[in-house]
């Protein structure tokens, strides 16, 4: 997850991070102006290239260090 590009997340960004949510699988905000990006990219310093690194981006933001990963909560064995 870390080191390639920042990954766009479906969660809306809250500057207080996990302080306001439970520690296990926090639900995040239901709406907001910016989304969470996670993980750090190839251009970042080592302290930013980690799964817990978080930034925020507006939906119309574009750059060469942000991507996305397709994921689902549906499990099919």
SS (H, E, C) the chain: CCCCCEEEEEEECCCCHHHHCCCCCCCCECCCCCEEEECCCCCCCCCCCCCCCEEEECCCCCCCCEEECCCCCCCCC
pLDDT given for residue 25 in this prediction: 66
pLDDT at 38: 87
pLDDT of 58 reads: 93
* Low-confidence residues in the chain, pLDDT < 50: none
């Amino acid at each position: 997850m870390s080191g390639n590009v920042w990954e766009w997340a479906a969660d809306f960004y809250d500057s207080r991070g996990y302080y306001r949510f439970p520690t296990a699988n926090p639900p995040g905000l239901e709406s907001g102006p910016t989304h969470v990006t996670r993980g750090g990219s190839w251009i970042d310093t080592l302290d930013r290239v980690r799964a817990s690194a978080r930034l925020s981006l507006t939906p119309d933001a574009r750059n060469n260090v942000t991507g996305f990963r397709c994921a689902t909560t549906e499990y099919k064995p």
